């Protein structure tokens, strides 16, 4: 994959697709600038090289309409603060206004254009809309990993309208780290999958069982697996229509020599609320009226020991309802074990990201993916349409 550092951008008009789909409060103030900061390396590089950098992004789902509260204007202010340089905002991403703004740029300048999704052509991957975007640049850079699993004019059709295309540092890092972990990993390769439902991650589990040496299953979804093994799981979350799938994954693991680790004990309560009375029980003894809401200490040890043996770890999904203190120990403890393992560790998904931050170990995780859905699709073994488009670039 061609990358930003391999193309000549000095003095060139560079159109960069970023993901500034940041959370905003009711007053339109940005509550977390992590997504903007993730692109600073690529943005800074373009400025240093004297490119004229034109940033494009979507925010929310305006479905082709101008929706005032989904304007990217606050992102231009936030980016100006971060760069300590004014980033002008242009209230359309195509057409005369955008073209005039680009024409007046000097090398090293950065501008941000309005939300791409105010035009329906972006989501539709419309070549005519891509051609309008292409008028703004000499070089196209894609740095928006988080949307690379969905085709849009701003990440797919555009690559057929611009002669020089490349991945930004963020997109490149995401793909490189993923490939290091999953395509040619140091083994044992251990995957940890948690979260609420089997059905959300069935494709991931089916793919992982073909790839990894060990699959650790925790969180709510573990109860469907435990039930599939014939255990009584009380009122714990369970998807009865996934029992056969769970069985077939366990059978396949057996034939492939992949070890599946499930919880051996759990923290139970009568309700999923802070302040509920809790108890630790072996998984064979979950009371009929109780909910399993976290892994127990024996499971934490079992999972922790497995992680210590790993050379590569991929992780998505919490081990319990970690938003509530009483059910957070399993997830935070495992985060510390993963961080201390010395293995190449890659995590993805909003909850897992938040858990490693809350556990205070985020700086000891090898790579934290910026893409929830895109990361899961990679784990499913799917290719990213936007990455394929980038590779077939050619105006």
From CA 347, how far away is CA 152, in angstroms rounded? 26
Reply yes or no on whether 218 is catalytic.
Answer: no
Q: Of 12, 17, 35, 49, which is the active-site residue?
A: 35
Supply the minimum distance, in Å, between the C-beta of residue 375 and ligand AMP: 11
CA geometry: angle 50, 35, 158, nearest 5 deg: 60
3-state secondary structure 97-164: HHHHHHHCCCCCCEEEECCHHHCHHHHCCCHHHHHHHHCCCCEEEECCHHHCCCCCCCCCHHHHCCCE
Reply yes or no on whether 60 is catalytic.
Answer: no
**Residue of 165, 14, 7 whose CA lies nearest to 102:** 14
- Choose which of 74, 185, 234, 320 interacts with ligand AMP (CB under 6 A): 320
* Residues within window 339-368 making contact with ligand AMP, judged by CB under 6 A: 349, 351
Supply the minimum distance, in Å, between the C-beta of residue 337 and ligand AMP: 18
From CA 147, how far away is CA 160, in angstroms rounded? 18
Reply yes or no on whether 227 is catalytic.
Answer: no
From CA 135, how far away is CA 212, in angstroms rounded? 45
Reply yes or no on whether 12 is catalytic.
Answer: no
Half-sphere exposure (CA, 13 Å, Cβ side) for 375? 23
- When asked if residue 296 is in the footprint of ligand AMP (CB under 6 A), the reply is no
Which C-beta is closer to ligand AMP: that of 74 or that of 318? 318
Q: Of 150, 197, 259, 311, which is the active-site residue?
A: 197
| Beta-strand relationship, 265-269 and 291-295 | antiparallel
Site string for ligand AMP, 248-277 (x = CB under 6 A): ------------------------------
Number of residues that bind ligand AMP (CB under 6 A): 16
- When asked if residue 293 is in the footprint of ligand AMP (CB under 6 A), the reply is yes
- When asked if residue 330 is in the footprint of ligand AMP (CB under 6 A), the reply is no
* Residues within window 174-203 making contact with ligand AMP, judged by CB under 6 A: 195-197, 200
- When asked if residue 333 is in the footprint of ligand AMP (CB under 6 A), the reply is no
Instruction: Say which residues have a Cβ less than 8 Å from residue 71's Cβ, sequence separation at least 6.
Output: 28, 59, 91, 114, 115
CA distances from 84 to 34, 77, 139, 170 (A): 17, 10, 25, 21
CA geometry: angle 97, 99, 104, nearest 5 deg: 100
From CA 352, how far away is CA 322, in angstroms rounded? 10
Query: For ligand AMP, which stretch binds (CB under 6 A), given 114-122, 127-135, 316-324, 353-361?
Result: 316-324
- Choose which of 317, 333, 348, 371 interacts with ligand AMP (CB under 6 A): 317
Q: Of 6, 106, 230, 350, which is the active-site residue?
A: 350
Supply the minimum distance, in Å, between the C-beta of residue 219 and ligand AMP: 4
**Residue of 41, 39, 47, 55 whose CA lies nearest to 10:** 47
Largest CA distance in the chain: 71
Supply the minimum distance, in Å, between the C-beta of residue 238 and ligand AMP: 10
Query: For ligand AMP, which stretch binds (CB under 6 A), given 3-11, 140-148, 315-323, 354-362?
Result: 315-323
- Choose which of 323, 380, 388, 391 interacts with ligand AMP (CB under 6 A): 323
Q: With beta carbons less than 8 A apart as the criterion, state whether 82 and 74 touch.
A: no
From CA 303, how far away is CA 120, in angstroms rounded? 47
CA geometry: angle 273, 274, 279, nearest 5 deg: 85
- When asked if residue 292 is in the footprint of ligand AMP (CB under 6 A), the reply is yes
Q: Of 64, 108, 304, 373, which is the active-site residue?
A: 373
Supply the minimum distance, in Å, between the C-beta of residue 21 and ligand AMP: 18
Binding residues for ligand AMP, rule: CB under 6 A, are 195-197, 200, 219-220, 237, 292-293, 317-318, 320-321, 323, 349, 351
What amino acid positions are annotated as catalytic residues?
Answer: 35, 197, 350, 373
């Amino acid at each position: 994959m061609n990358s930003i550092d391999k193309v000549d951008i000095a003095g060139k008009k560079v159109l960069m697709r970023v993901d500034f789909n940041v959370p905003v409060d009711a007053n339109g103030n940005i509550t977390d600038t992590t997504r903007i900061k993730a692109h600073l390396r690529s943005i800074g590089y373009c400025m240093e090289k004297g490119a004229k950098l034109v940033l494009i992004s979507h925010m929310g789902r305006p479905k082709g309409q101008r929706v005032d509260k989904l304007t990217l204007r606050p992102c231009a202010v936030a980016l100006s603060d971060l760069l300590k340089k004014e980033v002008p905002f242009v209230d359309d991403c195509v057409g005369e206004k955008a073209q005039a703004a680009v024409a007046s740029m000097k090398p090293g300048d950065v501008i941000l254009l309005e939300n791409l999704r105010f035009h329906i052509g972006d989501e539709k991957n419309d070549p005519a809309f891509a051609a309008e975007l292409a008028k703004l640049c000499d070089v196209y850079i894609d740095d928006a990993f988080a949307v690379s699993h969905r085709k849009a004019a701003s990440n797919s059709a555009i690559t057929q309208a611009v002669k020089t295309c490349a991945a930004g540092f963020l997109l490149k890092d995401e793909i490189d780290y993923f490939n290091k972990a999953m395509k040619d990993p140091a083994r044992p390769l251990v995957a940890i999958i948690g979260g609420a439902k089997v059905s959300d991650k069935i494709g991931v589990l089916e793919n992982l069982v073909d790839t990894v040496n060990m699959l650790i299953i925790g969180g709510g979804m573990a109860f469907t697996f435990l039930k599939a093994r014939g255990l009584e799981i009380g009122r714990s979350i369970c998807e009865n229509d996934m029992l056969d799938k769970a069985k077939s994954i366990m059978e396949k693991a057996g034939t492939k020599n992949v070890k599946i680790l499930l919880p051996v004990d759990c923290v139970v309560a009568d309700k999923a609320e802070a302040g509920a009375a809790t108890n630790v029980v072996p998984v064979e003894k979950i009371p009929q009226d109780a909910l399993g809401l976290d892994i127990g200490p024996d499971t934490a040890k079992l999972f922790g020991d497995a992680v210590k043996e790993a050379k590569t770890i991929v992780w998505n999904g919490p081990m319990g309802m970690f938003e509530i203190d009483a059910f957070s120990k399993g997830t935070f403890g495992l985060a510390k074990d993963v961080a201390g393992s010395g293995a190449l560790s890659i995590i993805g998904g909003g909850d897992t990201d938040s858990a490693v931050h809350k556990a205070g170990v985020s700086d000891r995780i090898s790579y934290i993916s910026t893409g929830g859905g895109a990361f899961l699709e990679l784990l499913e073994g799917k290719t990213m349409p936007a990455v394929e488009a980038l590779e077939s670039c050619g105006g």
